[in-house]
Amino acid sequence: MATSTRIQERMTPWDLTQLRQKAFIKAMITSLAALLLFLYLLPLGYGVITSLKTKEQTSDPKGSILPSEPRQYVYEGESYPVYKVPTDSGEKEWALVKKGRKSSFFIDPQNPQAGLIEWKGFWNKLEPVNQISPQWENYREAYNTIDFFRLLGNTLMYAFVTMIGAVTSATLVAYGFARFRFPFRNVLFIILISTIVLPPQVTLIPQYAFFTRLLNWGGSWKPLIIPAYFGNAYNIFLLRQYFLTIPRELEDAAKIDGAGPFRTLISVILPQSIPALTAVSLFHFFFAWNDFFNPLLYLSGQRDKMPMAVGLHFFNGIYNREPQLILAASVMTIILPLVIFFLAQRVFIQGIVITGVEK
């Protein structure tokens, strides 16, 4: 404290003004970031809260924001609702025992020995006392209805198998573009990158006809898994950008030790590229996890092979009048991706930043 006081005494009024301005700017930026984060997470919070309500609460426009139910008090073996009752000594929370037109009888839960208390007024105009009551059985019902483990197994199989193929193929192609010189390398790379802006609707019909009529792959996983092993332009671009940042001196040292191109890739390039590989892996994993149209198209009629996104779509169609069950099923489907992203976020962000900047 004494050192801090001496430093403040040495500072001029101008320096103090600058410090206050910097502190104010940091506080404003932090507040703005917190506000944007709150707005971004608001739909997720609404979904979680609504998934814990009853059907009646979700359809009540005047209901409580939080999942709640009227509070009950047991008196002489019977359960009675608790209301907020205005009295001469202030508002009280009493249980309504006997209803009347102009006067009713209540019991004080804090002092039940006092017996029934007569209150004059219209009981139906009193506000009930609610208590937090999350309906966890919504998750159990949704879990049993959508066959959660089957959908989860199909989705994980689809995501991990295609992720391995996408990362492996993109790594090999990106390494070739980043380190080898061959004729028309730049032209081929431009053609490859140009496919990123090609709308998928252009190739939808020819691709479907090729897979289903020519190869007879309809109703199987082959049209979804095998194309992932032939590279993706976006993944190749990210990995190539990262490979270009790795010093060539490391590869030269490996060549002196007798390592070939493939051994150099395995022993030198890949250990240095963990952030980029993690970013590409997570990109494809989240894409496969949320992929809806391709499984719906190629797995049509194969209910036992449907992934999470398609299964949730059918569930929503069946229970379109049960919003609490729909949101409960939706929340269950996003838990695993959130956990994966939370555990790998530091490496993921590092890979995104570095692959976008060429040293």
The tens digit of pLDDT for each residue in 298-323 reads 988 788 888 988 888 888 877 878 88
Which pLDDT tens digit goes with each residue over 99-113?
A: 888 889 998 988 888
Q: Give the pLDDT score at 358.
A: 45
CA distance 292 to 276: 26
CA 71 to chain centre: 34
Nearest to 288 by CA among 354, 227, 356: 227
Q: Would you say the C-alpha torsion 99, 103, 108, 112 has a positive or negative sign?
A: negative
Q: What is the dihedral of CA 324, 326, 329, 331, to 10 degrees?
A: -70
Contact, 297 vs 220, CB < 8 A?
A: no
DSSP bridge pairs for 78: 75
Instruction: Show Cβ contacts of residue 53 under 8 Å, excluding neighbours closer than 6 positions.
Output: 63, 67, 135, 138, 324
Average pLDDT, the chain: 85
Instruction: Show Cβ contacts of residue 251 under 8 Å, excluding neighbours closer than 6 positions.
Output: 179, 264, 268, 269
Domain ranges across the chain = 2-51, 68-132, 139-355
CA 160 to chain centre: 18
pTM of the predicted model as reported, rounded to 2 decimal places? 0.75
Residue 50 in tokens: 């609504």
Contact, 93 vs 82, CB < 8 A?
A: yes
Question: Strand 117-120 to strand 72-75: parallel, antiparallel, or no bridges (unpaired)?
Answer: unpaired
Residue 121 in tokens: 């007024």
Measured in Å, how far apart are the chain's first and last C-alpha atoms? Answer: 44
Nearest to 229 by CA among 173, 273, 189: 173
Q: Give the pLDDT score at 352.
A: 58
Which pLDDT tens digit goes with each residue over 223-242?
A: 999 999 998 899 999 999 89
Residue 201, classed as helix, strand or coil, is: helix
Is the pLDDT at 2 greater than 60, yes or no?
no
Pick one of 1.10.3720.10, 3.30.413.10, 3.40.50.1000, 1.10.260.40 as the CATH number of 139-355: 1.10.3720.10
CA distance 36 to 31: 9
